[in-house]
């Protein structure tokens, strides 16, 4: 391994290379710390809200059960739901930075409560929170370019290229050793903070292995691309410009264009439109005869048809019936909205086979359970809990059963997901194949360096 010590000595003499590696290590450490602090803040928020929820339920139990009115208890009682971060979330926060991870819901119409925010594909967003995924996708290629762009042209400029190529063991092996060592140092600077932070976050070995493979595949791609450009006969400035152009195209321009094309090819109504449509249906029910609303409700819920007739004036069962009808009226739009989002998600995964930055984010966000799929799964758990709330309250409302403290205490409680994050095999395979293919081209290019090229 004498060549390693020799190349390290050469690298240490370069203040620029040392500064770049040190800066990358600091940025990676800051990104990991920032992600861990954000995850800790979210966990503390969830724990604090759980405590507040218990206090609020105790206060409401005293307030709304004395009269035996289930409708008031259902109307005024908020139930906390939450989506706890996974042990890998600190590396790629994804939608957890934009979509709610805590939501309080009532037994009223659900869709307006779910769609007060928007869902989108974080893989196609240009720049998000400063986390490990950001450092890997956008910053790591720049450091790799800075270390490799003058791999050959620097030797040619100093007049040492012919001598180097004439030495035993030179040629392709020389450039591969140098490029490999510098890429390995970049890999080390990136993953050392990850390896330090993973035990504190409870990250499983398998998840950590996926993150390391994603990092290695992405760096292999950029190393191969740098070798292809750096071993040509261009000057150092021309190589740097060409590599910077590749970085801009692959990480900024093409993802932006892909996002614009996807938005036009797969149009998706905004979530706020669903909220407004559902609220319009609910508010419109106040102007309709209650009997007409109940008849419409009984068509889809015949199990409540033979209950006591609707009295004159306001009654909670009429109120909750038109709340549910509001949800059902928006159901086709909700289904189309989710289908559109999932279609964009599928196309995003396919784009990851062509755009390495998109592939890396898709893989990390899936492993961290912070992507659109995770957000929709959280909404599904809220919808399932909300359905249990309705099923709990309806017998009291439609049968005019007195609602007491014991009934209040037996309300359903939200259960968070306990399923581990799905392994992003497809995204990982695409990234590794892409990295291996470009790296093979770079290895081939390294064998074609000739002194006459200078």
Residue 202's CB: how many other CB atoms inside 10 A? Answer: 10
- pLDDT for res 117: 55
SS3 helix, strand, coil % of the chain, rounded to 5?
75, 0, 25
- pLDDT for res 1: 60
- pLDDT for res 119: 52
- pLDDT for res 171: 77
C-alpha to C-alpha distances, 250 to 141, 355, 390, nearest whole angstrom: 11, 6, 49
C-alpha to C-alpha distances, 222 to 5, 24, 32, 385, 403, nearest whole angstrom: 24, 16, 22, 46, 65
C-alpha to C-alpha distances, 15 to 3, 70, 91, nearest whole angstrom: 20, 73, 30
The domain segmentation of the chain, as residue ranges, is: 30-131+266-424, 133-264+431-447
For the four alpha carbons of 48, 51, 54 and 57, in that order, the dihedral sign comes to: negative
| DSSP calls for 11-65 | HHT-HHHHHHHHHHHHHHHHHHHHHHHHHHHHHHHHHHHHHHHHHHHHHHHHHHT
Q: How many residues would you count in the chain? A: 454
Instruction: Identify the burial level of 101 via C-beta atoms within 10 angstroms of its C-beta, where 0-12 means exposed, 13-18 middle and 19 or more buried.
Output: buried
- pLDDT for res 388: 95
Cα 56 from chain centroid (whole Å): 32
DSSP state for residue 89 in the 8-state scheme = G
Residues 6 or more apart in contact with residue 104 via CB below 8 angstroms:
78, 79, 80, 81
Number of H helices, E strands in the chain: 19, 2
- pLDDT for res 92: 95
Question: CB of 376 within 8 A of CB of 119?
Answer: yes
- pLDDT for res 453: 46
- pLDDT for res 270: 66
**Whether the model pTM is above 0.85:** yes
Question: CB of 293 within 8 A of CB of 321?
Answer: yes
- The first and second tokens of residue 188, run together, are 């080390």
Residues of the chain with pLDDT below 70 are 1, 65, 116-128, 169, 269-272, 452-454
Question: CB of 121 within 8 A of CB of 350?
Answer: no
Q: How far apart are CA 47 and CA 32, in angstroms?
A: 22
Query: Closest Cα partner for 141 from 208, 240, 234?
Result: 240
- pLDDT for res 97: 80
Query: Closest Cα partner for 93 from 102, 85, 81?
Result: 85
- pLDDT for res 144: 95
Q: How far apart are CA 83 and CA 387, in angstroms?
A: 18
pLDDT digits 0-9 by tens, 71-100: 888 999 999 999 999 999 999 999 888 788
- The first and second tokens of residue 54, run together, are 């218990």
Cα 447 from chain centroid (whole Å): 40
pLDDT digits 0-9 by tens, 92-131: 999 888 788 999 999 998 988 887 655 554 444 555 678 9
- The first and second tokens of residue 100, run together, are 């709610």
């Amino acid at each position: 391994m004498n060549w390693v010590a020799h190349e390290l000595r050469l690298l240490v003499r370069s203040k620029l290379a040392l500064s770049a590696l040190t800066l990358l290590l600091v940025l990676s450490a800051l990104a990991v710390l920032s992600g861990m602090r954000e995850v800790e803040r979210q966990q503390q928020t969830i724990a604090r809200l759980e405590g507040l929820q218990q206090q609020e339920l105790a206060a409401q139990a005293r307030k709304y059960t004395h009269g035996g009115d289930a409708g008031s208890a259902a109307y005024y009682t908020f139930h906390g739901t939450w989506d706890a971060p996974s042990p890998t979330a600190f590396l790629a926060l994804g939608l957890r930075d934009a979509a709610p991870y805590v939501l309080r819901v009532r037994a009223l119409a659900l869709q307006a409560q779910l769609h007060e925010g928007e869902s989108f594909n974080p893989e196609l967003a240009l720049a998000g929170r400063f986390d490990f995924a950001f450092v890997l996708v956008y910053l790591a290629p720049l450091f790799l370019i800075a270390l490799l762009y003058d791999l050959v042209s620097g030797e040619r400029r100093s007049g040492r290229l012919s001598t180097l190529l004439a030495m035993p063991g030179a040629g392709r092996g020389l450039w591969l050793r140098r490029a490999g060592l510098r890429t390995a140092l970049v890999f080390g600077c990136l993953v050392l903070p990850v390896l330090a932070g993973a035990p504190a976050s409870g990250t499983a070995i398998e998840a950590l292995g996926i993150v390391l493979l994603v990092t290695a595949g992405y760096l292999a791609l950029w190393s191969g691309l740098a070798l292809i450009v750096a071993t040509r006969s261009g000057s150092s400035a021309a190589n740097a410009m060409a590599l910077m152009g590749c970085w801009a195209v692959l990480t900024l321009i093409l993802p932006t264009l892909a996002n614009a094309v996807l938005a036009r090819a797969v149009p998706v109504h905004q979530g706020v439109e669903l909220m407004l449509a559902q609220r319009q249906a609910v508010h419109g029910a106040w102007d309709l005869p209650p009997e007409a609303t109940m008849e419409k409700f009984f068509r889809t819920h015949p199990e409540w048809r033979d209950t006591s007739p609707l009295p004159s004036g306001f009654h909670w069962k009429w109120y909750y019936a038109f709340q549910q009808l509001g949800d059902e009226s928006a159901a086709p739009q909700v289904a189309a909205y989710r289908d559109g989002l999932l279609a964009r998600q599928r196309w995003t995964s396919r784009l990851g086979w062509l755009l390495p930055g998109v592939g890396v984010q898709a893989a990390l966000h899936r492993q961290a359970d912070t992507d659109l799929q995770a957000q929709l799964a959280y909404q599904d758990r809220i919808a399932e809990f909300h359905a249990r709330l309705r099923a709990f309250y309806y017998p009291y409302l439609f049968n005019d059963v007195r609602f007491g403290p014991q009934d209040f205490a037996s309300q359903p409680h939200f259960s968070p997901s306990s399923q581990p994050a799905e392994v992003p095999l497809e995204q990982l395979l695409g990234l590794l194949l892409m990295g291996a293919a470009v790296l093979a081209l770079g290895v081939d290019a390294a064998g074609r360096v000739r002194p006459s090229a200078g």
